[in-house]
Chain A
């Protein structure tokens, strides 16, 4: 019997598969298709203090083995998420959900995390530090150890829920940033967020995306994600959640061997709405093939 459960920051997951933020809405689009309780959990749409429309369209571009998105954190704002989205979610999901939060200032993060701290349904808070800091010249919080640690420390003070800091790969030394977050009180690290990319329309000689650049995701980025998960997992002692181009059960196993305790599936959900279900259903076969009795045993197993 394949044992798929893992423990993420003190909460048991029946399997390590987590649908990634921004590819799974607030869950109910997918609940029409399959019982989403089969997931380890999912990370809901990036939520901010104020409601946001996001960037102008077009926001999506096709790439070889991937896509670029520049949605820009469209969401109804944390108050509406709590009053409207979470009650709807409770009708189709009875597990702890991961709350993904973003902000453009330390105060934004603190406000949003404080509000979410009171939500019984939320198990973990995944803090996206890839957004620009409006008080810091527009540089992303996640690009320096100091500012990433500052966000981590600030949200640490307002919630007892496990905090997982979601790191951007668009940095020179991701290990130092991960360590700084750990030192500032993070309970876990998730990575990688999308890679900055761009496409140009040959006919129009203009960027395909209105925002010019956006986040590149999809199976093309998987090797980069595995490398960064491996580097970070070998440098921190808190659990690491691996993501970036995960498409199949083999990818989940590979991420775990690299050091991931749990694995998020992102862009794959947009192409195959059943991606998470299919991956979970296929995991026992892949475990059997590679003689894995319990997934817990392979975390960081790559030597």
Chain B
């Protein structure tokens, strides 16, 4: 973990309420795809955890959905600086992927899969991606994943684009491993239908984001874990579904 000041170089909407922010700063603490940063915002007490979408050199890309005060404040930023804690969370373990990993993202769970896809493709893996959205107007990053060289399928719940239905409607025949991030009902559905082991990225309200407050704990078959520090990525074999 590292605390440092980043400079905002771009911040623009991808859809009506999903924004992409690009920043420059010390990214050295970011060691894995699937990690997150914790953002300090003026006037708010707690930092806001946002997953890392991409990182290359000094450049950091965050994609976030406006869901509350914090992300609303972020969406209005047109430059300036941000105080970030970087390198938080365990992130995805690439070594388990096999040759043909399947990446499944739902809504604002899509962003962390981008850096993951990029790294897996760099290792020569044949990456398939399923991106699930409610409707066409909420869709983002189809082309970006394709440009990386991934095989991309989009699903929309209302059938306005791609395959109609949830992400599980587009599961391919052959894959060696699953990496996923999205709302909990989607994670559970993927858990139920996936034929292989996998890694699932969870969300929880956090206090600190670095393991000190125990605010975001969950029970797993491998013992109590802090989503922020021991997660957010859990392996399929340890997950206990609570809600």
Contact = CB atoms under 8 A, between A and B. Distances in A.
Interface string B202-231: 001111101111111111000010000100
A65 B205 CA distance: 17
A70 to B, nearest CB: 9
B224 A271 contact: no
Chain B interface, >50% SS class? loop
B85 A62 contact: no
Contact of A270 (B205, B212, B224, B242): B212
B193 interface: no
Interface of A is mostly: loop
A59 B216 contact: yes
Contact of A62 (B3, B44, B210, B224): B44
Contacts of A60: 46, 205-207, 213, 215-216
Nearest to B211: A29
Contacts of B3: 272-274
Contacts of B241: none
Interface residues of B, number: 28
Give the most central of B44, B204, B207: most A CB within 10 Å. Answer: B207
B97 to A, nearest CB: 29
A231 to B, nearest CB: 27
A22 B208 CA distance: 11
A23 B213 CA distance: 5
A30 interface: yes
A155 B45 CA distance: 37
B211 to A, nearest CB: 5
Interface in A38-83: 45, 53-54, 56-67, 69, 71, 74
B30 to A, nearest CB: 16
A45 B210 CA distance: 15
A218 interface: yes
B45 A67 contact: yes
Contacts of A219: 45
Interface residues of A, number: 36
Interface string A256-285: 000000000001011111100000000000
A158 B155 CA distance: 64
A145 interface: no
A32 B213 contact: no
Contacts of B47: 271
A59 B215 contact: yes
A269 B208 contact: yes
Nearest to A270: B208
Interface in B144-189: none
Interface in B22-63: 40, 44-47
B65 to A, nearest CB: 14
B107 to A, nearest CB: 17
A194 B206 CA distance: 18
22 contacts: A23-B208, A23-B212, A25-B211, A25-B212, A29-B212, A29-B229, A32-B1, A56-B242, A57-B205, A57-B216, A60-B46, A60-B215, A60-B216, A62-B70, A63-B45, A67-B207, A74-B214, A74-B224, A271-B45, A271-B208, A273-B3, A273-B85
Interface of A: 22-25, 29-30, 32-33, 45, 53-54, 56-67, 69, 71, 74, 208, 218-219, 267, 269-274
Given A58-B204, A71-B214, 18 more contacts: A23-B208, A29-B211, A29-B229, A30-B212, A53-B219, A57-B215, A59-B217, A60-B206, A61-B205, A62-B70, A74-B217, A74-B224, A270-B207, A271-B40, A272-B3, A273-B3, A273-B210, A273-B212
